[in-house]
A and B are shown apart, each in its own frame.
Chain A
Amino acid sequence: MPKITLIEFNGTNHTIDADVGKSLMLNAIDNGVPGIDADCGGACACGTCHVFLNEDWLEAAGVANSLEDAMLCMRPDREEVSRLSCQIEITESMDGMTVRMPEYQM
């Protein structure tokens, strides 16, 4: 199980043993990590599971498709490294990945 660390806006770290094949969003929710709302349940339709990737992990996480990009466009706090965590499927190669969570979800 790859270890992934999610960092809250206030700096609190949460390191989880993630299930491969499940999304980063579901892994965070299933482990009780605060800061991910995921109102739509993983349909790439609400934008409330926004995270910032560490640049070293951008390639492993893949590229946002046009719908995800459109949803991210609605975020005032979007960065180059922004992704929706429901669209990132966990693989073994993500062991050690860190992601930051935004100040708020909306």
Chain B
Amino acid sequence: MSQSAAQPDPLNAALQDIDFSDPRMFQRNNWHGYFARLRDESPVHYQAESPFGPFWSVTRFADIVAVDSNFEDFSSEPTIVIGDLDDDMPLEQFIAMDPPKHDVQRKAVQSAVAPQNLAQMEALIRSRVADILDQLPVGETFDWVEKVSINLTTQMLATLFDFPFEERSKLTYWSDMATAAPEVSGGDADPEERQAALMDCLATFTRLWHERKGTERSSLDLISLLQKDPNTEDIVDKPMEYLGNLILLIVGGNDTTRNSATGGVLALNQNPGEYDKLRADQSLIPSMVSEIIRWQTPLAHMRRRATRDLELNGQQIKEGDKVVMWYMSGNRDERSIDNPNDFIIDRNNPRHHIAFGFGIHRCMGNRLAEMQLRILWEEIMQRFSHVEVIEEPRRVLSNFVNGYEELKVRVHPV
């Protein structure tokens, strides 16, 4: 069961010998076979030992929807990743709260990403995307993750927070540090560096809070929204709650869209027939965006805790048990999605995927994510007939973030 051991054979190993929390499955992108077996043989599966303690894996689409939409039996407290809370840094964030506190805090910031506000931002996002693409080195091999995906999402985050634009790379750094703790997601961040990064994040945003207090600002600025809402106007006095929600918004707007912005390039290169379809008909972009998000599923899981003894798909779950919903498995479940392992940009009903989660914790920024990716692809297709993948990507070591460190590409102008 140790994660230093070799990975077991996905087809023939006994299920109890497989560690479904092993982050190498995601780094090596070989999770498909393991989780296909769980869906078929043990869809609600108990693993007694893991580096994160005992946990249940829920792997079928319908079972995930049932757990995700049942916030009374499946609590999001105290945290929503497989690893437990860091005692030195007990972040509090609304994604890891149950009603009623969850509802109050989410409502304070939700309107920032409501579609009527997004429409006002579209021109700004488009001009920033255009700048990013116009500066790409045509004729050279370069890293799409760095030059496009990170650049795009970091600029977006800086816009949403009205964060000093020239310092925006700090947002990405804090986001990476927040999710890369070994005890949280099996990542490889140094604990001291992580703590220092998060404290720097808190100090920076505390300063911004006080600078911003009492000034009139755009309603799109998340800090000002927190200040304006009576339920959160004092959140700066509760540092772990302020920091926790900042990290939630930063990670939520960063890792997710970043990795879908990379995953789309990879998926089209692996499926040249679909790339041809896109070249022939760019009105497919909105449906392709949903398909990219499903295919990538940038967050691999969310975890819950059972609040009582209950039965789920024939298994007896005890009060207090950790229950992990594997979203990337649900999105490959042929019981709910036709030909789930195929990337099909004109799929019927492409929005019917589980990457945003379901229930009250469903991704708040889902429309923003879709808009960013839609604009990105509209602008890519104006400029490049082919974003050509040059070598296999390097992937993130994490059982939570299903993403990329590097994707080497060349761009070919139209």
Contacts and interface: CB of A to CB of B under 8 A. Distances in A.
B116 interface: yes
Interface string B78-105: 0000000000000000000001000100
Interface residues of B, number: 26
A74 B103 contact: yes
B69 A45 contact: yes
A44 interface: yes
A43 interface: yes
B373 to A, nearest CB: 16
B360 interface: yes
B71 A45 contact: no
Interface in A23-55: 37, 39-41, 43-48
Interface in B98-131: 99, 103, 106-107, 110-111, 113-116
B362 interface: yes
B30 to A, nearest CB: 29
Contact of A103 (B65, B115, B358, B362): B115
A46 B69 CA distance: 9
B352 interface: yes
Given A41-B352, A45-B65, A76-B110, A70 B99 contact: yes
Interface in B347-365: 349, 351-352, 356, 358-360, 362, 364
A76 B114 contact: yes
A43 B69 contact: yes
B362 A45 contact: yes
17 contacts: A40-B65, A43-B65, A45-B69, A47-B362, A70-B99, A73-B99, A73-B103, A74-B107, A74-B360, A76-B110, A76-B111, A104-B114, A104-B116, A105-B115, A106-B113, A106-B366, A106-B367
How many residues of A sit at the interface, in one of the four size bands? Answer: 20 to 34
A16 B410 CA distance: 51
Contacts of A58: none
B255 interface: no
A94 interface: no
A45 B367 contact: no
Contact of B110 (A41, A45, A74, A105): A74
